[in-house]
Structure 1
Amino acid sequence: MSTSKARLQFLDALRGIAVFLVIFSHIMHERSQLAQLIDANYFQIGQAGVSLFFLISGYIIPKSLNASPSLKVFWLHRFFRLYPAYWVCLITVLLFASAGLYHFQETLSPFGMAVNFTMMQGFVGIKNAINVFWSLKFEMAFYFLMTALSVTGMLKRPFLIFVGYSLLTAGLALGMKFGMHKFFAYGVFNLELMLLGWVLAEWHMKRLAGKYAAAGVALGLLTTAIAAYAAFAGRTEELAVGTLSLVPMASAWGASIVFFVAALLTTEYVRWPRWLAWMGTVSYSAYLLHPIVIGVSQNLIPVGPLLVSTQFGLSFVLAWLGYRYIETPSIAYGKKVGNRFMPAARQAARV
C-alpha cells in the first residue's frame, strides 16, 4: 500500500471510530444503564468522538488550504463538500416533522429554521434544528481562522499559532474560573484540538521536528486539564446524550488526543480494517442523518433490540446512500466549478 493511500485509510478509519462513538452515545445513552454510568462518571463517549473529529479536521483542512490554488477554490470545494448533504438533511427532517414522525428538541421559528440553512446559526444565537449541528459551528470557525492565517501569511507558523492559542485558552479559562467565578466557555477548547491536529499533521508529514510535536502534545494535554477544570469542576449537567462534569469530559478530551497521537505513531505498522475505513468514508452523512433515524424510529418501533439494531443499521445504510448520491456528485461538481478558477489563480501566483 502506498504512503498516501495508507494515510487516507488511516484518516478514514479514525473518522469511522469517531462517528461510531457519536452514534453509539446517542443510541445507547437512553437504552443502557452501563452507558449512562460511564457517561456520568468516567468517560463522555460522544464527546470523545467529536473531539476526534476536530483533531482530524485540524490534520486535513490546512493541508487542503495549502493545496488549493486560491482561497476562492478552497471555499468552493468546502461549500460543495458540506452544504448539499446538510441541506438534504434539513429538508428530510422537515418532511418527517410535518408528518408528525419527528419532534424537534428545540422550538424553532420559521426564521430560525431559515437561518439553519446557512449553517451559521451558532454564530448568531439561533438554536440548532438537529442537536449534532453544534459541532459545525466550530468547523466553520476553524475554516475562518485558517483563511485569516492564509491571508496574513501565517500558515507556515503552526506551532507558534498553537502555542499562542493554548496560552490564550488557558488564560481565559483561569480568568473565568477565578476572576469572574464563572464556568469556562469550553467551546473555545474545540479550536485548540484542531490546532493541535494541525501541528501533529506537520510533524507526521515531516515538516516539523519531533521535539515541537512532543511539546505541542504536552501543552495540549496541560491546556486540556486547565480547560476541563475551569469548565466542569463543581458542575454536573445532565444532557440527553451524556453528562457535563469534570472526569467524563476531561477523560474524553485527553483520551482523544492520546489515541490520535498513538494512531499517528503506528500508521506504518497498523492495517486498519476496510469496514472501519468505509464507516469513515460515509461518516459525514452518518453524523448528519443518524439523529433523524433515531427520532423517527423510536416513534415507530417498540423499545428493544430491534429498535437498537434498526437505528444502527439504518443510520449507515442511509449514510451510504447520502454519500453515493449526494456527497459524491456534489464534491465532483465542486471540483468542476473550482477548476474554472484554477488557470487564473495559477497565473496570479506566478506574478
Structure 2
Amino acid sequence: MRFIAAFAVFLFHLTMLSIHTPHGIDVLHQFKDEGVREAYNSVFHIAGFTGVSFFFALSGFVLTWSARSTDTLTGFWRRRFFKIYPLHIVTYAAGLLLLTGSAFRASDDLPGVFLLQSWIPDARVIFAANSPSWSISCEALFYVLFPLLLPLIERIPASRLWWWSAAMVAGIFAVATIGHLYVSMEYQFWFTYTLPPLRLMEFVLGIFAARLVILGRWPDIRLAPATVLLVLAYALALQLPQVYAQTAVTIVPVVLLVGAGATADIEGRSRLLRSRTMVWLGEISFAFYMVHLVVLLSARKWLGAEDSYSTPKALLVIAGCLAVTMVLAWLLHIGVERPAMRHWSVRRQDRDRGRTTASV
C-alpha cells in the first residue's frame, strides 16, 4: 500500500509547472497535446496530497502497532533517525548537485539538510533541492512526539476513541477553513499543507486507528468498500477548493483504508497486497518516494525543459523515468537504507548482547 501511495505522488509530480518548485522546470508541458495536458492535470493534480496524507496516517498506525513496551526514548529515536536520515541526506545531496547546482543559497538550501524546511513559510526553502523531503520534515516532528503521545493515548477508554478521532477530523477541517478564509495566499499553502504541527493530526488519527484495531473496536470495513469510498472522496475533492482537497475531504477514507488493510492482513485476506512483488515494492517505497522527483526533473532538464512531445513519446519518457526510479530505489534501499538500519539503528553493545544471547 505504501508503494501505491508513492506512485500516486509520482503521477502527481508529472503535473508540475515551472512555478511549483525553485528549480523552475516544467514537467506537465512535455505533453504537446493541450487536451491531454488538461485531462491529465484535471485527474492527478491532487494525487500527491492524498498519497502524503496516507503516509502520515499509516506512519501513526504502524508505529503504534509495532510499539514495544520495553523500548526507550533514545532507542526509538535512534531507530527512526537511521531509518530516514541517511536516505534523506543522499537524495538531498543528489538534488543539490543535479538540480540546484550553482544556484545554491545557504539560506534556502541548508534548512532542508537539518529537516527544518517545512517550518519556514517560503516555498524556495520548503521545496529546496529534493522537494519530497518536506514531508520528512513533518515526520521528524511526529517521531519526536510519538513516545510522548502514545502513553497518553493508551489511557483513553476504547469507547471514547471514536470521539477523539472525530475531534481530529474536525481539527483538520478547521485548519482548511481558517486557511481558506483568513490566511493570505502567500502563506496559505504553508499553513494548510506543509506546517508540521498542523499535519500532526493525520498522524494521531493513525494512532487512534491502530488502538481501535488492537482493542477490537474497528468496524468490519473491507478493503474494496474502503477503496471505493476513497475514490469517491477523491472525485469530490477534485471539485473543491485546494485547501479542502489537500487533506480534509479524503482523510476519513484514507484512515478507513489503512484500518481495512491492516485487518485484511491480520486475517490473511489481502493476497495481492501480501504477494512477494507487492511486499518488495513496499520495501523500496520510501527510497522510491525520496528519489523519484530528482529523476523526473533531471530527465526533463537533460532532455530539454522547454520541449514538448507527442503523447506516445511523452509516455515513453515517463516510463523510462519510472524504470530508472525503480532501479535507483532498489539500489538505495539495499545500499543505504538497509545497511544504515542494520549497522546504526541499535547501539553496538546491544547488538553484541543480542548475538551473545542468540549463540547461547
Q: Same fold (TM over 0.5)?
A: yes
1:37 maps onto 2:46 in alignment? no
1:186 maps onto 2:192 in alignment? yes
For residues 114-160 of structure 1, what are the alpha-carbon distances to aligned partners after superposition, in whole Å with 9 as ceiling and x for unaligned? 2221112223554332221221232122222213235xx42523666
Q: Which AA in structure 2 matches 1:157? A: R
Aligned-partner Cα distance in 2 for 1:339–1:35: 53
> Would the aligned equivalents of 1:298 and 1:307 in 2 still touch at CA under 8 Å?
no
Equivalent residue runs for 1:42-191 within 5 Å: 44-66=46-68, 69-97=71-99, 109-125=105-121, 126-129=125-128, 130-149=130-149, 153-157=151-155, 163-164=163-164, 166-167=166-167, 170=170, 174=174, 177=177, 181-182=181-182, 185-187=191-193, 190-191=199-200
Aligned-partner Cα distance in 2 for 1:154–1:63: 15
Partner SS for 1:22: helix
Q: Give the corresponding residue for 2:20.
A: none
Q: Which AA in structure 1 matches 2:303? A: I
Q: Give the corresponding residue for 1:287.
A: 289
Task: Give the drift of 1:108.
Answer: 5.8
TM-score, reference length from structure 1:
0.70
Aligned-partner Cα distance in 1 for 2:116–2:43: 33
Partner SS for 1:269: coil
Aligned-partner Cα distance in 1 for 2:328–2:300: 17
Partner SS for 1:69: coil
> Would the aligned equivalents of 1:165 and 1:192 in 2 still touch at CA under 8 Å?
no
When residues 173 and 338 of structure 1 are mapped into structure 2, their CA distance, relative to the original with a 3 A threshold, is farther
> Would the aligned equivalents of 1:162 and 1:196 in 2 still touch at CA under 8 Å?
no
When residues 58 and 180 of structure 1 are mapped into structure 2, their CA distance, relative to the original with a 3 A threshold, is closer
> Would the aligned equivalents of 2:218 and 2:259 in 1 still touch at CA under 8 Å?
no
When residues 139 and 36 of structure 1 are mapped into structure 2, their CA distance, relative to the original with a 3 A threshold, is same
Task: Give the drift of 1:49.
Answer: 1.3
Equivalent residue runs for 1:262-341 within 5 Å: 262-267=260-265, 268-271=268-271, 272=273, 273-301=275-303, 303=309, 304-337=314-347, 340=350
Task: Give the drift of 1:71.
Answer: 0.7
Task: Give the drift of 1:318.
Answer: 0.4
When residues 275 and 27 of structure 1 are mapped into structure 2, their CA distance, relative to the original with a 3 A threshold, is farther
Q: Which AA in structure 2 matches 1:38? A: V
Task: Give the drift of 1:203.
Answer: 3.3
> Would the aligned equivalents of 1:15 and 1:277 in 2 still touch at CA under 8 Å?
no
For residues 221-277 of structure 1, what are the alpha-carbon distances to aligned partners after superposition, in whole Å with 9 as ceiling and x for unaligned? 9xxx9xx99xx9984xxxxxxxx2545755543442343233234322121233222
> Would the aligned equivalents of 2:142 and 2:203 in 1 still touch at CA under 8 Å?
yes
Task: Give the drift of 1:164.
Answer: 4.5
For residues 199-234 of structure 1, what are the alpha-carbon distances to aligned partners after superposition, in whole Å with 9 as ceiling and x for unaligned? 222333x33434799xxxxxxx9xxx9xx99xx998
> Would the aligned equivalents of 1:55 and 1:260 in 2 still touch at CA under 8 Å?
yes
RMSD of the TM alignment (CA)?
A: 3.8
Q: Give the corresponding residue for 2:212.
A: 203
TM-score, reference length from structure 2:
0.69
Partner SS for 1:131: coil
Task: Give the drift of 1:178.
Answer: 7.4
Q: Which AA in structure 2 matches 1:26? A: H
For residues 155-181 of structure 1, what are the alpha-carbon distances to aligned partners after superposition, in whole Å with 9 as ceiling and x for unaligned? 523666784575366368548847994
When residues 341 and 63 of structure 1 are mapped into structure 2, their CA distance, relative to the original with a 3 A threshold, is farther
Q: Which AA in structure 2 matches 1:321? A: L
> Would the aligned equivalents of 1:73 and 1:342 in 2 still touch at CA under 8 Å?
no
Structure number with greater CO (CA < 8 Å, separation at least 6) is 1
Give the length in aligned residue pairs: 298
Q: Give the corresponding residue for 2:358.
A: none
Task: Give the drift of 1:110.
Answer: 1.4
> Would the aligned equivalents of 1:25 and 1:46 in 2 still touch at CA under 8 Å?
yes
- Structure 1: gaps of 5 or more residues: 1-13, 101-106, 214-220, 236-243, 344-351
When residues 94 and 210 of structure 1 are mapped into structure 2, their CA distance, relative to the original with a 3 A threshold, is closer
> Would the aligned equivalents of 1:19 and 1:280 in 2 still touch at CA under 8 Å?
no
Q: Which AA in structure 2 matches 1:282? A: I
- Structure 2: gaps of 5 or more residues: 17-27, 32-36, 222-228, 354-360
Q: Between the two proteins, what is the percent identity of the paired residues? A: 21
Task: Give the drift of 1:21.
Answer: 0.9
> Would the aligned equivalents of 1:47 and 1:249 in 2 still touch at CA under 8 Å?
yes
When residues 284 and 171 of structure 1 are mapped into structure 2, their CA distance, relative to the original with a 3 A threshold, is closer
